[in-house]
Amino acid sequence: MDDVRASSAWVASHSSHVVVDSSGIEKVAETIDTIPKVNWDFEGIHYFDNGPLTVQYLFVLDALNFCFWPDKDLNYDNLAAGLKAALQNDKSVFDVDRLQKYTGPELRELLKWHRPLPLEDERVRLLHEVGFELERSFDGKASNLVESCGKSAVKLVALVTRHFPGFRDHSVYKGHQVFLYKRAQIFAADLWGAFGGRGYGEFYDIGSITIMADYIVPAVLRQLGVLKYSATLASRIEANSQIDAGSEEEVELRACSIYAVEKMKELISMKSGKQVLSIELDLWLWSFGIQCPALQHHRTLSIYY
């Protein structure tokens, strides 16, 4: 995760459209004595049986966890709850031979979603990729992938990005490679949250995981006064104009969010004298954001978030 932190800091120091406001970070840190605890499954929408099937479910979930905004009625809850219901109905639904064969209409049927999904072809392609590589390298089970990381979240992210190209969330910004790894990191975070830091969710280096840079967190940070946007970028977001994946604006929104929350974490840790986890901050910011339906976020077509 050092690459994520270092490259995000580089973007923040060279940013043209997004500014990280140090005084805004300090104000937020001053108002927080402890990070409000948010239970991982606070909405009750995830499958959990405390075993390998939960790991398989989470990996499929995180392979598909991106780009809901083009359908105003679709969100993460629909995906998580839809996959949960499908698995409860048929325990073989995420077997690798089936993952490699799903079509768009079949995926819709799994989710009980009766119109085409955003980026549906990519979602199907990524299901096939997950099924193929799990079968080839991990005997068909995401739990074997997790067990092979030796209880290291950092190694798990490295294994996921090495074996599954669809998780390789990086960009080139002003000639500099930037690593963000949202979905690979959220897999580690979901395991930790679901299993309560035990069993498949036990990682000795969970503190190495950064926030998961998506649509919601930058918008929340802007509302909190931590991020400032250029007038041009602000107007594009407020007009719901699409921002291209890999553009300077898009990379800055995500990388500056990571950098800002790392600085926020440092200040809160110093103030409280306790270790603060980025993933706890991420869950708090995200849960805050989804409770503000009027919050305007940037719109980018991307398989990474």
Would you name the residues annotated as active-site residues? 214
Q: How far apart are the first and last CA of the chain?
A: 18
- What is the full DSSP assignment across the chain? -HHHHHHHHHHHHH-SSEEE-HHHHHHHHHH-SSPPP--TTTTS-S---SSHHHHHHHHHHHHS----TTSTT--HHHHHHHHHHHHHH-TTTT-HHHHTT--HHHHHHHHT--SPPTTHHHHHHHHHHHHHHHHHHSTT-HHHHHHTTTT-HHHHHHHHHHH-GGG--EEEETTEEEE--HHHHHHHHHHHHHTTTSGGG--TTGGG------SHHHHHHHHTTSEEE-HHHHHHHHTT-B--TTSHHHHHHHHHHHHHHHHHHHHHHHHHTS---HHHHHHHHHHHHHT-TT----B---S--
Count the neighbouring beta carbons within 10 Å of the beta carbon of residue 12.
Answer: 20
Please tell me the distance from the alpha carbon of residue 198 to that of residue 8, in angstroms, as a whole number: 30
- Using alpha carbons only, what angle is made at residue 206 by residues 203 and 211, rounded to the nearest 5 degrees? 145
